[in-house]
Amino acid sequence: MRADVVVVGAGPAGLASATRLAEAGRQVLLLARGNGFTHWGAGSVDVLGRVGGEPVERPLEAIDRLPEGHPYHLVGQAAVRDGLDWFSGFTAAAGLTHTGDPERNRSQVTAFGTLRPTCLLPEPAAGELRGRVAVVNFAGFRDFSPALCAQRLRRAGIDAVPASAPMPAWDHDRYFTGVELARAIDDAGFRRRLAPGLARAVAGAEVAVVPAVLGLNRGHEPWADLQSLVGTPLVEAATAPPSIPGLRLFAAYRARLEALGVRWQFGFPAVGVERDGDRVTAVRSEGASRVLATHCQELVLATGGVAGNGIDANRDGTLTEQVAGLPVEGFDDRLGFMGDQFLGDHPLAAAGVRVDAELRPVDAAGEPLLANVRCVGGLLAGHDPTTEGSREGVALATAARVAAVLAATPAR
């Protein structure tokens, strides 16, 4: 096998990098073990939600307050803007328009009734909560509790009340997941049957908060249609995995990559590289029966941190980068991995590979180790995507950077 650029990993960073490189004319192979944080996220674009635990109002300005070595410092504010601009254009063209302003964070309502700071929101999640807010579940959907959500919203001073919308007769009356419900809502006939009950449930409210299940494969159109049938603004709350907004985004990436002719290998974990001096010549991946070597000019690692499986945490406190054996700073023992409070901060979340300004992995002295390997997204050291609320921002900014860097090193 042979490719110009191999991108390893299909999370937010790998998908954006592969798309941008293909748009720039590179011949790309995307190699992935499985799905990434599109499926596990809140369905928004977090750029920088908190610094030192405090909510951030102006994410781009707050970058200055981040510690040295943070990926944002390496790529610069311009790359962050570039990443967000590109993403806004890409999603709008794919029927997944996002709203928001990189200069100012906004809040996203969650299934718990908390208001999480984020930057860009897909339109169905972007409505304002004002006046009386009905928090509505579709009867029988087990992953959303209007009572729980409304209780927290009321603590935040929002006049929220729980409600339930009856389900019309359908195939899944005993067993359905959010994905099945979302797929059903793709169908216009189903929406017409669903709307009257939903309208009764939200009667008297100015806005309705619903689980993020309003359509799967038709962009934001099912949401817009249902909203007009009901006659009340519908706001999708951040709901537990799998993230349906994330699935919509994943599908949009996949369609775009296929249109760009990107080859796509799913279920093939990368397990090693072949090297010639300071260059990687091939990536080895595990197939059903054998290890396959794919030769490449450039390698982009978007394998994630420990959470994404790019790094393995060992029993003795050391850490292992899974594809190229890149150095990752470990801990004295494994008790150092995590904090005492589960809901607190965990040092392991910020573990990663150190890179230079061109995103090449570096040694302890800061010298590049491999000339044609770039690291993007969660794999990078120096940021904690969850507690900072920076996952998608870092992914898009480093994808922007990798596209710029590789534009300067054209395919041979």
Nearest approach in angstroms of CB 283 to other proteins is: 22
Whole-Å CA distances, 180 to 146, 196, 245, 352: 20, 20, 14, 36
Contacts of other proteins in 188-227 (CB under 8 A): 197, 200-205
Burial class (CB within 10 angstroms; exposed 0-12, middle 13-18, buried 19+) of 76 = middle
Nearer residue to other proteins within complex by CB, 96 or 205: 205
Nearer residue to other proteins within complex by CB, 110 or 294: 110
Provide the 8-state DSSP code for 353: B
Q: Which helix (H) or strand (E) holds 198?
A: helix 188-202
Nearer residue to other proteins within complex by CB, 153 or 406: 153
Whole-Å CA distances, 141 to 15, 138, 145, 270: 30, 6, 9, 37
Query: How do strand 270-276 and strand 279-286 relate by DSSP bridges?
Result: antiparallel
Among 19-27, 35-43, 187-195, 399-407, which window interacts with other proteins (CB under 8 A)?
35-43
* Site map 244..283 versus other proteins, x via CB under 8 A: ----------------------------------------
* Site map 61..100 versus other proteins, x via CB under 8 A: ----------------------------------------
Q: What is the DSSP string of 361-390?
A: BB-TTS-BS-TTEEE-GGGBTT--HHHHT-
Nearer residue to other proteins within complex by CB, 25 or 336: 336
Q: Which helix (H) or strand (E) holds 273?
A: strand 270-276
Contacts of other proteins in 282-301 (CB under 8 A): none
Nearest approach in angstroms of CB 365 to other proteins is: 28
Query: How do strand 263-266 and strand 28-32 relate by DSSP bridges?
Result: parallel
Among 10, 18, 252, 306, binds other proteins (CB under 8 A): 306
Contacts of other proteins in 123-162 (CB under 8 A): 132, 134, 137, 140, 142-148, 150-152, 155, 161-162
Q: Tokens in use for 33?
A: 């073990």
Nearest approach in angstroms of CB 152 to other proteins is: 6
Contacts of other proteins in 3-32 (CB under 8 A): none
Contacts of other proteins in 331-390 (CB under 8 A): 333-335, 337-338, 340-344, 346, 348-349, 385-387, 389
Binding of other proteins by 174 (CB under 8 A): yes
Nearer residue to other proteins within complex by CB, 27 or 145: 145
Query: How do strand 311-313 and strand 319-321 relate by DSSP bridges?
Result: antiparallel
Q: Tokens in use for 102?
A: 């990189």
Nearer residue to other proteins within complex by CB, 163 or 296: 163
- One-letter amino acid identity for 74? L
Residue 108 forms beta bridges with which residues?
116
Among 99, 217, 314, 409, binds other proteins (CB under 8 A): 314
Q: Which has the closest alpha carbon to 117: 40, 38, 58?
A: 58
